[in-house]
């Protein structure tokens, strides 16, 4: 006999999004500390800290939009809508990510590309780690 599906864990997702906001804050502070203390940047430049923060913020924003799309509909009767929202959310997330990186590289100067990608990847890894703990 099969088990019924678990209810959505919308409240846990909200908690984990708040935790990711804290990780975002910690990542920004750590980037600032590395930029000022280790690299010796002056307060006006902070290229590494700025790039790190922008990459992490892009990742956080796209994950939040994706979570919003997924939990737009809930319940058994909305199962077709949930699946379609999953695909739409993933498409919007990828489009926002691609256009976000393009916009960042076009408009923000000076920029440290490694710091940008490190901030983005740290947030992606922390998101995956938190999703693994929801199960």
pLDDT value of residue 87: 87
Residue 130 lies in a domain: yes
Residue 2 lies in a domain: no
Residue 44 has pLDDT above 60, yes or no: no
Entry pTM? 0.77
Residue 5 lies in a domain: no
More confident residue, 93 or 39: 93
Residue 1 has pLDDT above 70, yes or no: no
Q: Which of these ranges, 30-44, 89-103, 104-118, has the smallest mean pLDDT?
A: 30-44
More confident residue, 97 or 43: 97
Residue 67 lies in a domain: yes
In the chain, the number of structural domains is: 1
User: Domain range for residue 95?
Assistant: 10-134
pLDDT value of residue 45: 67
Residue 20 lies in a domain: yes
Residue 4 lies in a domain: no
Residue 118 lies in a domain: yes
Q: What is the CA radius of gyration of the chain?
A: 18
Residue 73 lies in a domain: yes
């Amino acid at each position: 006999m099969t088990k019924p599906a678990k209810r959505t864990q919308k409240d846990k997702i909200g908690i984990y999004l708040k935790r990711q906001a804290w990780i975002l804050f910690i990542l920004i502070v750590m980037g600032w500390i590395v930029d000022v203390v280790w690299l010796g940047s002056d307060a006006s430049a902070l290229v590494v800290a700025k790039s790190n923060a922008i990459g992490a913020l892009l990742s956080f924003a796209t994950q939040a939009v994706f979570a919003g799309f997924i939990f737009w509909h809930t319940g058994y009767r909305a199962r077709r809508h949930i699946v379609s929202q999953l695909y739409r959310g993933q498409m919007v997330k990828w489009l926002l990510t691609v256009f976000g990186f393009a916009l960042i590289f076009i408009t923000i100067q000076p920029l440290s590309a490694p710091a940008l990608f490190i901030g983005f990847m740290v947030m992606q890894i922390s998101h995956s780690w938190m999703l693994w703990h929801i199960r």
